[in-house]
Amino acid sequence: MSALILAVLLAALDQTIVSTALPRIAEDLNGFDDIAWVSAAYLLASTAVTPLWGKLGDMFGRKRLYLTSTSIFLIASVACGLARNLPELIGARVLQGVGGGGMIVLTFALVGDIVAPSERGRYQGMFGSVYGVASIVGPLLGGVFTDQLSWRWAFLVNLPFGIVALAIAARALPAAARGAKARIDYLGATVLAAIATGLVLVTSFGGRWGWGSPGIVGLIVAVVVFAALLAPVERRAAAPVLPPAMLGSRTVVFSSLIGFFANAAMFAVLVYLPTYLQIVRGVSATLSGIYMLPLVAGLVVSQSLAGRWAAHVERLRTILLVGLAANLAGLLLLGTIGAATDTLALSVYFLITGIGIGMVPMVVLTTVQNSVPAADLGAASAVVTFARSIGAAFGVAVFGTLLNTGFADRTHALPTAGGFDAGRPDTIGRLPAALRDTALDAFAHATAMGYLWIAPTLAAGILLALFLRPARKGGETADVPTTTADGALTTTADDAPTTAANGVPATAEDTVTAA
């Protein structure tokens, strides 16, 4: 577990640690126009390869794939740290995303391998806490490395910790049995990668290129076309990357959608609250992290409690509903913030939001893992991870558009003399003192309205959670058919447990063995 947690920490940090280093990277490598690709390349690659890593783990054993993905990540980290120009850095970030995506999804699947269904929630909660902490600590570390050492250390720091994680994993992880031999579904993996690429590009660059621009519209059309091709392609595959039966599972589909909505809200909070603190409250990047400690505390505590409560798997839906409701309440409270909101009130809002954020993601993953046969753990984990990654990109992109549009609408009449730009909130400091308060009020209002606009996504998640039917205690398969050696499907009913020959309710393992 120590090796897996360390690996997830590194992979999660590399999604956020470069954000504060980007201006210095652009300056050193002379690439201001394309600097956004440094972040987008990692997100794009890690999202696109997630389903393939999950399926390959099912087929060839997760331990060897985990060691491979970690090695790729470390090699790419060195390449990032030694990059001589921006194209080299972007290429290395793509490779790093390929490894990081595998590390995350295989870690979640490995927990499903080595932990009993009734205990998965507790252990998955640890990884959720790591994700939340990484989202806050990453930008701070990036700033420290950039100011005190070099931006290159934001990548090179992965090497010593990654080698330790690799050594522990090689020695301690059990060698899982390989699945049935089958041809790799290259066509299905390509179609899924194309869908992921289109979605990430749309969400990452829609605001910059224009949501109605030919490039964005073309990407949306391409995503729709590939999405329509996915089901026919996977039905014809001998070992589909995304088993069609899984798409017919209410638990998998609803849980993935809940993960999408929850991650969209979570990253809108984690990415833009520090921006609000730094611009409106005038604090440093380091101090903004201290302001965020109530949120991190709520996240870590609720993750731990949710993991313990998830040991009673009948409560999974209840935990999801409570977490989504708390998260929704937090967003509604954040929708009231202004330039004059006092620190105590902010701390309470952050705490409630953190509690809601922490209770949802890993419970969603545990719900899905407990609903599928052991042979499909990797693919199921990949589906949820894929949905959450797209949700994160969606939340950041949509909130950023809402924030910038709202700010520009309320400050378009302010004078631009001195370098103030209504499309760039970071130029507020260039305004005369008499107008600065007006701009700060406008930015605070735009931030609050953005959270109110995001809140309905959590309401949709609550509605979906009401219709979830999680697996019963003991981890029985809920509603996903098991694939037999000859490709036939054996379905386990939603409303009645599978029964063995002796009349005893069968576990998921029994179902797989019988198939």
pLDDT in tens, 473-503: 444 444 554 444 333 444 433 333 333 333 3
Instruction: Tell me if residue 343 falls in helix, strand or coil.
Output: helix
- Look at 65 and 145; give whichever has higher pLDDT: 65
pLDDT in tens, 23-52: 677 777 776 556 667 777 787 777 777 777
Q: Which CATH homologous superfamily contains domain 250-469? A: MFS general substrate transporter like domains (1.20.1250.20)
pLDDT for the residue 485: 36
Assign residue 467 a region (left: φ > 0; alpha: ψ between -120 and 50; beta: otherwise).
alpha
Give dist(CA 201, CA 198) in Å, integer: 5
pLDDT for the residue 333: 94
Give dist(CA 380, CA 51) in Å, integer: 9
Phi, psi of 489 (to 5 degrees): -110, 135
Q: What distances in angstroms separate CA 120 from CA 125, 233, 360, 482, 510, one per listed residue?
A: 8, 33, 14, 21, 19
> Global pTM?
0.70
Q: What distances in angstroms separate CA 405 from CA 69, 105, 312, 337, 367, one per listed residue?
A: 40, 35, 45, 18, 38
H helix runs in 115-185, sequence order: 120-148, 153-156, 158-172
CB of 324 closer than 8 Å to CB of 462: yes
At 377, list the tokens: 């753990």
**Average pLDDT across the chain, whole number:** 75
Q: Is the pLDDT of residue 439 over 90?
A: no
Lowest mean pLDDT among 190-199, 283-292, 328-337, 419-428: 419-428
Task: For residue 377, give the H/E element and its range.
Answer: helix 377-411
CB of 267 closer than 8 Å to CB of 396: yes
Give dist(CA 15, CA 337) in Å, integer: 27
- Look at 168 and 493; give whichever has higher pLDDT: 168
pLDDT for the residue 332: 94
Lowest mean pLDDT among 10-14, 157-161, 250-254, 333-337: 10-14
Q: Mean pLDDT throughout 334-342?
A: 89
Q: What distances in angstroms separate CA 270 from CA 22, 168, 335, 353, 375, one per listed residue?
A: 18, 31, 15, 10, 35
pLDDT for the residue 263: 84
In this prediction, what percent of the chain has a pLDDT beyond 70? Answer: 77
Q: What distances in angstroms separate CA 154 from CA 13, 16, 218, 323, one per listed residue?
A: 9, 10, 35, 33
Burial 326-365 (b: 16+ CB within 10 A, else e): bbbbbbbbbbebebebeeeebbebbbbbbbbbbbbbbbbb
Phi, psi of 421 (to 5 degrees): -130, 120
Q: What distances in angstroms separate CA 156 from CA 17, 71, 73, 78, 174, one per listed residue?
A: 12, 14, 11, 6, 29
Q: What distances in angstroms separate CA 133 from CA 139, 209, 211, 332, one per listed residue?
A: 11, 32, 32, 23
Lowest mean pLDDT among 205-219, 250-264, 295-309, 410-424: 410-424
Give dist(CA 102, CA 110) in Å, integer: 12
pLDDT for the residue 422: 67
pLDDT for the residue 310: 63
CB of 472 closer than 8 Å to CB of 497: yes
CB of 102 closer than 8 Å to CB of 53: yes
Architecture in CATH of 1-180: Up-down Bundle (1.20)
Q: How far is CA 171 from the centre of its chain?
A: 28
Residue with the two structure tokens 């031999």: 181
At 22, list the tokens: 């980007």
At 69, list the tokens: 């993905």
- Look at 142 and 351; give whichever has higher pLDDT: 351
CB of 452 closer than 8 Å to CB of 402: no
Give the Cα-Cα-Cα angle 411, 417, 419 (nearest 5 degrees).
80
Instruction: Tell me if residue 11 falls in helix, strand or coil.
Output: helix
pLDDT for the residue 438: 84
Q: Helix 293-309 to helix 316-334 angle, to the nearest 10 degrees? A: 170
Q: How many helices (H) and strands (E) does the chain have?
A: 20, 2
Lowest mean pLDDT among 24-28, 133-137, 291-295, 505-509: 505-509
Task: For residue 489, give the H/E element and its range.
Answer: strand 489-490
Give dist(CA 185, CA 491) in Å, integer: 23
Q: Is the pLDDT of residue 511 over 50?
A: no
